[in-house]
Amino acid sequence: MRLLRPEKYAATRHRLRSLSPHARRSMMVGLVVALWLAPMALAATWIHARARHTPAPAPVTVSPSSIASQLSGASRKTPAIYDFTAPTSSGANIPIGGYFALYYAAHGGTALLGAPITPVYPIAGGWVQVFSGGALVYPTGHGANAAAALGFGNPSQPTFAGNVRDDVTGIIRLPLIQPLLRAGSLVSVAGSGSGTPSYADLRQDVTPIALAPARDGRGATTGASEPSFTYQQAGHSNTGQIIPQAIWQFMNRGDITPDGWQADIGMPLTLPVSMTASASDGIHQLQVQVFYHAALIEDDGVPGAASVPVISALPTGLAYLQTLGPPAVSLSNAKHAWVTGDAAVLAAPGAGQQRAQLGLNFPVDLSGGTRWISDDLWYAIHWAGPKASGNGWLDAAMLSFTSPGSGAPVWSGFDALSPALASYLSGLGGDTGAAVYDETHNRYYTYNANNGYIMASSAKVPIMITFLEMTEAQHRQPNDDEMYLLTTMIENSDNDSAEALWLEEGGAGAVAAMMHGLGISGLQPDYDGEWGYSTVTPLAMVRLLTALHDGRVLNAQDRTLALGLMAQIESDQQTGVGSTAPQGASYWMKDGWVPAPNGLWAMNSSGIVTISGETYIVAVYSQNKVSLDDGWGIAEHVCGAVGQLLTS
């Protein structure tokens, strides 16, 4: 044990230094989130650098008698009536919001806050995100507006006076342990259904704590050379407050409390409270201690087993949501948002028919409706694409309120281009995939665009690019024989020419290296030498053609050569892009078809089309078709519809 000597303690009575254990059924869910964003490390360094030049927040002077007087005799008890699940299910895919990522990384977020269990969303006067072990608030105003952001809808405490405010970022961390004690929450302190004491039970332990003789971890009385971390009270030399050694070491780690334990965790409000928990390896011994800004739990493992104590925060965020419900959503200053990934627009919150498939950076308007369905927040939204629009509901976890910027590409399913085309594609199932990049307007439209499909003769495009990269590295142009092979491979789709070039350039490894150099994934060359049975995703082919068109691969001379060959495809090798290109358009293309080993047909068409200032790049792939005509029909239908929609 360590003995903490606070500066001002109004001691009114003594209490025992150990308490009786309580039984519980299951162990607390570990509050660990994998922070994989490398930029956060740099941001954390910046925050620490700023902190060296920013005065640390003054420690809050806590009067246990004041806290105790507020809670003594309190009889209110509040059952868990809101359906929020544990962070292992609800927080796994919820990102740490942009407002809070820097603070989270620099202030021990993994240990003190744990996994996010709500997305960032707007409340009156600011923004909030609730984590398993707490909550962060970013006020957008001052005075009454800032107070409104801290209101949180808690009837017993309109604002959180004991918040931890970071002067560098403006972020406020809320001590959710206090409203849980005030409300007398009946949620178990170690997680739902654990059988351990509730927060209402823990409230009884918040009492004025007598100062005890200072003792070290072995129980011996310490002398005058007590380390400088202790705080003496006048007239009480060598006295202090008990904090378990493992918790004390935890709360003094610079990566967890960069502003010091007084500011980030606060003075203790209880002695260590002993309890037990059942786990797969036996009954674990636990100690819980409540501080002004946090509540910590020490898991000492199974008695007799060699184990290192594990310290984490109590799941106060989850308990708050289960007891008092989520803070009310306020959309008064949040009208626009952007999709953060593939997201289905549904007819109703969390249910109903899918009305559209939107993707990264797609802008939406919030139409005012909000709904919590279990632990998920849903927004009523309106979306609008170049050719279509609609209404529906989106999961709040899939939205950001920060604009990605004008240069960021916008992604969606084909719904935003044509609901009819989207319906046609969805009827074809997984054996068909398509991707379109409208380069003029920086928009992508996709359907199964990351599925792999047999390349057939479309593999001749990466073979050609790989070969020309090789000759460039050799500081030469293709010789006459090589030019013949390149021409017949592309214009006439000659397989023997493709085989010769494939072997000369180094086969599958060379093609894979070329794609890797461009940063394009999704092409799997056949390492058994059957280059036509290589697979590619439609999106990978679109990206390769985009790199060729935009000059990100090959020098100017070789790019002109490659595109010139793709513009001279003989007529019997053209379908899809070539047979449906808008009147007067210029196009560069390559088709492919082959019976697969299962005897069914694979067919594809991909290319670049330009007309009247509009450029788009398209790839349509299908396989497992009974006849080649089936594949041709799909390619022509999709390519033709795309051409009409983008150029009309």
Place 33 in a pLDDT band, splitting at 50, 70 and 90: very low
Instruction: Tell whether the model's pLDDT for residue 279 goes beyond 80.
Output: no
Q: Are 165 and 172 in contact (CB under 8 A)?
A: yes
The string of pLDDT tens digits covering residues 349-380 is: 999 999 999 999 999 999 999 999 888 899 99
The residue among 196 and 510 whose pLDDT is bigger is 510
Instruction: Tell whether the model's pLDDT for residue 6 goes beyond 60.
Output: no
Give SS3 for 383. Answer: strand
Comparing 112-116, 120-124, 161-165, the range with the smallest average pLDDT is: 161-165
Instruction: Tell whether the model's pLDDT for residue 225 goes beyond 90.
Output: no
From 144, 142, 182, select the one nearest 162 (Cα to Cα). Answer: 182
Kindly state the DSSP code that residue 387 receives in the 8-state scheme. S
**What distance in Å separates the CA atoms of residue 390 and residue 418, rounded to the nearest whole number?**
12
The string of pLDDT tens digits covering residues 125-155 is: 889 999 999 999 998 877 666 666 776 654 4
Instruction: Tell whether the model's pLDDT for residue 190 goes beyond 70.
Output: yes
Place 69 in a pLDDT band, splitting at 50, 70 and 90: low
**Other CB atoms within 10 Å distance of the CB of residue 399:** 25
Pairing mode, strands 134-139 and 2-4:
unpaired
The string of pLDDT tens digits covering residues 203-217 is: 888 866 655 555 444
Place 220 in a pLDDT band, splitting at 50, 70 and 90: very low
The strand ranges marked E within 244-281 are: 273-279
pLDDT of residue 246: 87
Q: In the beta sheet, which residues pair with residue 267?
A: none
Mean pLDDT of the 479-503 span = 97
The string of pLDDT tens digits covering residues 74-101 is: 788 999 988 887 544 444 578 898 889 9
Instruction: Tell whether the model's pLDDT for residue 571 goes beyond 70.
Output: yes
- Amino acid letter, residue 4: L
Output the CA angle 96-102-105, nearest 5 degrees: 80
Q: In the chain, pLDDT over 70 holds for what percent of residues?
A: 79
**Other CB atoms within 10 Å distance of the CB of residue 253:** 13
pLDDT of residue 208: 64
**What distance in Å separates the CA atoms of residue 305 and residue 591, rounded to the nearest whole number?**
66
Mean pLDDT of the 434-443 span = 97
Phi, psi of 280 (to 5 degrees): -65, -25
pLDDT of residue 143: 66
Q: Are 237 and 213 in contact (CB under 8 A)?
A: no
The residue among 481 and 259 whose pLDDT is bigger is 481
What is the pLDDT of the chain when averaged over all its residues? Answer: 82
The string of pLDDT tens digits covering residues 573-605 is: 899 999 999 999 999 999 999 999 899 999 999
**What distance in Å separates the CA atoms of residue 248 and residue 229, rounded to the nearest whole number?**
10
Please state the separation of Cα 237 from the chain's center in Å: 51
Instruction: Report the chain's C-alpha Rg in angstroms.
Output: 32
The residue among 209 and 474 whose pLDDT is bigger is 474
Instruction: Tell whether the model's pLDDT for residue 2 goes beyond 50.
Output: no
**What distance in Å separates the CA atoms of residue 379 and residue 350, rounded to the nearest whole number?**
10
The highest-confidence range among 33-47, 89-103, 399-413, by mean pLDDT, is 399-413
Q: In the beta sheet, which residues pair with residue 625?
A: 601
**What distance in Å separates the CA atoms of residue 359 and residue 127, rounded to the nearest whole number?**
24
Pairing mode, strands 410-413 and 443-447:
parallel
